Amino acid sequence: MSSAVTKPEPRPSVLQIAAYVPGRASSGSTGKQHKLSSNENPLGPSPAAREAFAAAAQTLERYPDGSATELREAIASAYGLKADRIICGNGSDEILAMVANAYLRPGDEAIFTEHAFLVYRIVTLAAGATPVVVKEKNLTVDVDAILAAVTDKTRVVFLANPNNPTGSYTPIDEVRRLREALPARILLVIDAAYAEYVRRNDYEAGIELVATRNDTIMTRTFSKIHGLAALRLGWAYAPADVIDTLHRVRGPFNVNAAALAAGVAALGDRAHMERSVEHNNRWLPILRERIGALGFTVAPSVGNFVLIDFSSVPGGDAGEADTFLSARGVILRRVSAYGLPTMLRMSVGDDEGNEATIAALAAYRDTLPHE
């Protein structure tokens, strides 16, 4: 009976988790603020989604449809999928957590790459399992490094495609090569949160892989292209067995009624999605060129954000740049927690926010010694 434990203790791995720090919402400066720290849609959601959200206020006493039938059917018809192979989540983050809870035991390993989305580490440790982090090449996933890290204990591989915060992507041939070389007992989780933005002939979100196998799942979100981050809505397309498994660990009413309604409406507004992509993909090369012209290296990105390296200019410092920009109302995202201490991530903003950021970066550049 003698034990030194005097209070409830969580699983040891839980204490290894560094709690997720979201992008800052305010710079603390007075005046106009440009929040480009969380990859939100600068156009906001579809007006139809706003209306559906408002209408949901009339029936707040009712539980939502726990099986999200209407939304799953809308997703199925938008993407040509079977509705019973779709599961919805309170953000795709929740689905990633469900996957970890259902498929990882203490002692198991989950592999992801060094600059991958932080949530993979959090859900792996929360499940009591061991994160195995592999090197990237040039801020890009290295399939051979993932394969080299596989052991008998590997149960899950998380692949962000495209990845946040690097903005790089893994061509579908490489994803297929990874899948074919991974043992069948390993669940490959393809997180395609930014898929709608990508216009590359060698990119696919992974729908066909999921459709033709029993060991691969694709997650998606309404937080980015649909501008519904506040409502927390994500979904996954998965093999029947995986869907069955995830339903067992899912909270009975995990997606709220306002999110369900807004999600259906958002999917119905193709024009809004196209405007969002068009705005983003018009700005990506402009940001790369104009910020690059200041001397800062900007990694090529297919997402709705760019990664700016301050070490490419003598005297440049991401922390000092962040402070400088914040004082001018420009809020970018520090990415030290992603192993990128010399960089800041900038979400593609509206025209005014992008111009303000470029101007503030130019002013910061002017504070540095010119060679």
Ligand X SMILES: *Cc1c(COP(=O)(O)O)cnc(C)c1O
* Chain contacts with ligand X (rule: CB under 6 A): 39, 91-93, 117, 160, 164, 191, 193, 221, 223-224, 229, 234
Name the maximum alpha-carbon separation found in the chain: 70
- Min dist CB 23 to ligand X, Å, is 10
Nearest approach in angstroms of CB 294 to ligand X is: 26
Calpha distance 129→189 (Å, rounded): 16
- The tokens describing 328, both together, are 């001018």
- According to DSSP, the β-strands at 297-298 and 234-237 are unpaired
- CB closer to ligand X out of 117 and 364: 117
Nearer to ligand X, 154 or 221 (CB): 221
| C-beta closer to ligand X: residue 130 or 347 | 347
CB-nearer residue toward ligand X: 103 or 338: 338
Give me the least distance between CB of 158 and ligand X, in Å please. Answer: 9
Asked if residue 8 has a cis previous peptide bond (ω within 30° of 0), the answer is no
Q: Are 360 and 62 in contact (CB under 8 A)?
A: no
Q: Which is nearer to ligand X, 33 or 41 (CB)?
A: 41
Residue closer to ligand X by CB (options 112, 364) is 112
Least spacing, CB of residue 223 vs ligand X, in Å: 3
End-to-end CA distance of the chain: 70
Comparing CB distances to ligand X, the nearer of 114 and 320 is: 114
DSSP codes of every residue in 230-257: GG--EEEE--HHHHHHHHHHS-TT-S-H
Nearest to 267 by CA among 129, 57, 68, 24: 68
Q: Which residues contact 2 (CB under 8 A, 6 or more apart)?
A: none
Cβ-based nearer residue to ligand X, 112 or 283: 112
Residue 356: CB atoms within 10 Å: 20
**Closest residue to ligand X, Cβ-based?**
91
Taking a C-beta distance cutoff of 8 angstroms, is the pair 37, 357 a contact?
Answer: no
What's the chain's Rg over C-alpha atoms?
21
Over the range 20-32, which residues count as b (16 or more CB within 10 Å of their CB) and which as e? Answer: eeebbeebeeeee
Using a 10 angstrom Cβ sphere, with 0-12 exposed, 13-18 middle and 19 or more buried, the burial of residue 114 is middle
Contacts for 219 with CB less than 8 Å, ≥ 6 apart: 92, 95, 96, 189, 190, 191, 192, 193, 234, 235, 236
CB of 236 to ligand X, least distance (A): 10
Q: How far is the CB of 119 from ligand X (least distance, A)?
A: 7
Residue holding tokens 């960089």?
Answer: 343
Minimum CB separation of residue 92 from ligand X in Å reads 4
State the nearest-atom distance from the C-beta of 142 to ligand X, in Å.
18
SS3 call for 255? coil
- Residue (174 or 191) nearer to ligand X, CB: 191
Name residues whose C-beta falls within 8 Å of residue 178's C-beta, 6 or more positions apart in sequence.
Answer: 143, 146, 147, 157, 159, 170, 188
Q: Minimal distance in Å, beta carbon 87 to ligand X?
A: 13
Judged by beta carbon, residue 204 or residue 358, the one nearer ligand X is 204
> Which residues, 6+ apart, have CB-to-CB distance to 244 below 8 Å?
none
Minimum distance, C-beta of residue 234 to ligand X, in the bound complex (Å):
4
